[in-house]
Chain A
């Protein structure tokens, strides 16, 4: 009894001391009159005493101040470093400046500081840093893990904590591994989880993961600076036109969100060609890709770009206070990501404009994302069986032994590793003692929820009530009031909903002369037939003139392919000839050769007509021997091997020097690569590939 009472008194005294010290810290920073915003001190006290804390507060509320002050207090108590796990993109300049004002010594561990990694890790080992930001990818990197044993962690912060919950809108596999760490950490290491975007379901899930003792701080989510308008835009042409017409009218710079990388590339290119400074931003591979992204981030940060055209890769952790507008070129997957993306705007300015386009095709893309989010039972099972039958296999062996797309194999492997069914040691994969089961019920439940969330998003486009209120009420903020600023509250458009004819024309012109590059392949895929080595004869860069199925040419290609008479229309011949004319002249192309087919003369017929239109010779040089369709081949190893065995050059052919190699639809490029290779092997000098449409998937 006595002991217990003493404990209570100690706790109360401790809290008083925390309050005094915390207040002193912010008054030193912001002046004598400074005080905490509602909820901030409570979160600090909880972190310092209750040790598991969840903060759900809107962007701009000051979540980082909570962990800065906690770090300061804990360092005064000689505790270890604060580790902030965050999916941040750019150096969080403002945040670091704020922390430094508090006298905290900070650094960042992510791919942008890779060259300084050893130095930062050494500083952590020597306890000379107070706080470090780290991305989950970097945190679980072997070189970082090797140093962990010498690092004392005093406070563990999980920024954007909704990523841990696979019920959330944005579950990330890398975050999944944090889940286990959170459950393992002893109570002496406090955990602070923060997010601006969690509905009741996600909050409940996070609570379970953090333990039931968790203190939850939750506040209103409405943002006072956002002016929202929703526009029905059925097609690409009108969307392009509207953006071109209206973006120049908007003050400052902003973000245009697209669902796919390809859309980012096109739209950014369109804007640039029409005099608007824009850049496409999405997950780019490798060091070179990261460099490109960093340059774009910087020029956007310095307001050298009017618009950054981005996938959701530009989202969390992106801290630019004066983003003046956000346009959604397509409807996002759900309200939570929408809230988060528009939340990038208007952080340090009074007014920011937010526009949402929606139309029928958006739903098709979103459905595709929803239904391909999880590996299938077949994919997982095949891979597990294969790994289990060997004492260690490489990814290339897996790809060569099964007809599954590489991206799908990678996805399945990361799920299997995350779920603890497979482990990776060096380049080799092994099964673990955990018996594999396909968690169909869970995947189905998550898929169903995502479907519902998309319906909720669709309702936003139809609602006549306040947009802002609708959005935050979907996030379970029940206190929300009408904003009085959105198009529905005002009862009028912020910017016109219709596009002027002039801008429609410009968009149409651009889309009609647009080409998609066919970059030549330089290495064979590893398979039973070919080795992963350099291709001796490489094609020249070529192009296709549409995206398969897209309005305009893409639609015409689809119609032609499935038409009864098996014929591509004259319009396609005309358009191709028009675009190819200068290309053919520039490159000294004398002949057209087509990719042969066993099923129809569709491509041959088209090629002959195209040769006539261009005044070129038609050379029927190639033979097809095997009849397995290339589109049945799901990955590079299989496509490459299949194509390699299928095509040959006809005996006794006279081979022209420079040839335009024509196919109808290009996807993996293996057919064009192999046909080009065989033609060059037979004596051709340069092969220029051309296709009517590109059907490859370059999704996000």
Chain B
């Protein structure tokens, strides 16, 4: 067991949150990590910190010390629950683990979540994939376009990365798997619920499907999560295809707009006359039509990925 990972989980996990326990948010954890680096320590050292150490070494105020101590006190109980999940095939991967999604770490830097819960082969994250996003309510036309697009990108060796939801997500994932490729899904709800489907289990066992979520494994759908995972899809992919977007509203619109601003990857948009799609193309998304060959077009004027973040430590 990697005890730095264990410490990160203990500090940040929303699993096993008892009374008075308040896990660190990504930003808070980021601050703590920087303080630890500055004094040459790693997260596991916190297990042995005395009250004085928190104040003396990290400059914690008493209430901060109290909060972190309460979090560390739950480590045994927390590990019971994680152990149960592990036995169900769900792992927790932290920023202290080598298998943490490296592309997210590079592109999202400090705003990367400290923990992902996942089921499947994490090495799929190292392969190239194309993101597919779109609304849940789709037409036959949308489905046909998505299938053709996926067939083309798959034939070029790409996998699919999606949000694992109904609609475009499911269509693109199934198409990739059906064509012998792989599918990455950043879920916004319960991993455990998804793992009740025998086809899901089969695809994971065959090494073709990887599920990831920042929500604890038994959580329900949360809108906030749904927004967050858009970032992960863009950051993980070599380019993301917007099949269908509403105009000025909805998760697809918000996610694509954010990516156009941040430039985590090339935004491609189906040149269908949906108002949302047209507007995204207007804002700089690369239009792709029915004749698209599957290659990610060179970014014309999209800003270069910001190098604001420099990797300083395995656990940061």
- List residues of chain A with CB under 8 Å of any chain B CB: 80, 83, 125, 140, 145, 148-153, 156, 177, 180-181, 183-189, 388-392, 417-418, 420, 423, 425, 428, 430-435
Contact = CB atoms under 8 A, between A and B. Distances in A.
B72 to A, nearest CB: 7
Contacts of B44: 186-187
Given A184-B6, A188-B47, A420-B86, A145 B80 contact: yes
Given A145-B80, A423-B88, A186 B196 contact: no
Nearest to B193: A425
A184 to B, nearest CB: 4
Contacts of A389: 198
A180 B83 contact: yes
Given A150-B19, A417-B87, A432-B195, 20 more contacts: A145-B80, A145-B84, A148-B77, A148-B80, A149-B16, A149-B17, A152-B74, A153-B76, A153-B77, A181-B83, A184-B82, A187-B44, A187-B48, A188-B75, A420-B88, A430-B198, A431-B205, A433-B195, A433-B204, A434-B89
Given A186-B10, A431-B198, A152 B87 contact: no
20 contacts: A80-B76, A125-B18, A145-B84, A148-B16, A151-B77, A152-B73, A152-B74, A153-B76, A153-B77, A184-B79, A186-B44, A187-B3, A391-B197, A392-B196, A420-B88, A420-B89, A425-B192, A432-B201, A433-B119, A433-B120
Contacts of A435: 205
B75 A186 contact: yes
Nearest to A142: B84
A156 B76 contact: yes
Contacts of A184: 1, 6, 79, 82-83, 86
Majority-rule SS of B interface residues: helix
B22 interface: no
Interface of B: 1, 3, 6-7, 10, 16-19, 21, 44, 47-48, 72-84, 86-90, 119-120, 192, 195-198, 201-202, 204-205
B7 A149 contact: no
B179 to A, nearest CB: 22
A580 to B, nearest CB: 54
Nearest to A183: B1
Given A145-B84, A177-B83, A391-B197, A186 B7 contact: yes
A432 B89 contact: yes
Contacts of A186: 3, 6-7, 10, 44, 47, 75-76, 79
B198 A423 contact: no
Nearest to A189: B76
A187 B86 contact: no
Contacts of A390: 198
Contacts, number: 114
Which 4 A-B residue pairs are closest in the complex by CB-CB distance?
A433-B89, A188-B47, A432-B89, A153-B76
A76 to B, nearest CB: 15
Contact of A432 (B10, B47, B81, B88): B88
B76 A185 contact: yes
B76 A149 contact: no
A420 B80 CA distance: 15
Nearest to A150: B18
A189 B79 CA distance: 11
Contact of A420 (B10, B72, B76, B87): B87
Nearest to A390: B198
A149 B75 CA distance: 9
A80 B73 contact: yes
Contact of A388 (B18, B73, B198): B198
A639 B298 CA distance: 69
Contacts of A185: 75-76, 79
Contacts of A188: 47-48, 72, 75
Nearest to B199: A391
A258 B133 CA distance: 67
Contacts of B119: 433
Contacts of B17: 149
Contacts of B1: 183-184
A673 to B, nearest CB: 36
Contacts of B75: 185-186, 188-189
B91 to A, nearest CB: 9
A48 B48 CA distance: 13
A141 to B, nearest CB: 12
B80 A181 contact: yes
A153 B78 CA distance: 10
A177 B87 contact: yes
A431 B205 CA distance: 10
B214 to A, nearest CB: 18
Contacts of B120: 433
Contact of A433 (B19, B81, B201): B201
Given A184-B1, A390-B198, A423 B16 contact: no
Nearest to B191: A433
A413 B90 CA distance: 19
A361 B83 CA distance: 43
Nearest to A421: B89
A423 B19 contact: no
Given A152-B73, A187-B3, A180 B198 contact: no
Most chain-A Cβ atoms within 10 A of its Cβ — which of B3, B7, B47, B80?
Answer: B80
A432 to B, nearest CB: 4
A637 to B, nearest CB: 23
Nearest to A423: B88
A391 B81 contact: no
A187 B2 CA distance: 11
A186 B204 CA distance: 30
Contacts of B202: 388
A539 to B, nearest CB: 42
A385 to B, nearest CB: 11
Contacts of A148: 16, 77, 80-81
A185 B77 CA distance: 9
Most chain-B Cβ atoms within 10 A of its Cβ — which of A184, A388, A390, A417?
Answer: A184
A690 B91 CA distance: 57
Contacts of A431: 198, 201, 205
A391 B202 CA distance: 11
Contact of B81 (A80, A125, A145, A425): A145
Contacts of B6: 184, 186
Nearest to A83: B76
A418 B201 CA distance: 18
Nearest to B84: A145
Given A391-B198, A430-B201, A433-B119, A180 B86 contact: yes
Contacts of A434: 89, 205
A428 B88 CA distance: 14
Contacts of B21: 149
B79 A181 contact: yes
A6 B216 CA distance: 42
A645 B151 CA distance: 54
Contacts of A151: 18, 77
B181 to A, nearest CB: 19
A148 B21 CA distance: 13
A394 to B, nearest CB: 14
Given A149-B17, A150-B18, A423 B87 contact: yes
B80 A430 contact: no
A554 B278 CA distance: 88
A389 B83 CA distance: 26
Contacts of A183: 1
A389 B90 CA distance: 21
Contacts of A83: 76
B201 A388 contact: yes
Contacts of A153: 76-77
Contacts of A433: 89-90, 119-120, 195, 201, 204-205
B268 to A, nearest CB: 31
B4 to A, nearest CB: 10
Nearest to A433: B89
B210 to A, nearest CB: 10
A308 B196 CA distance: 47
B79 A430 contact: no
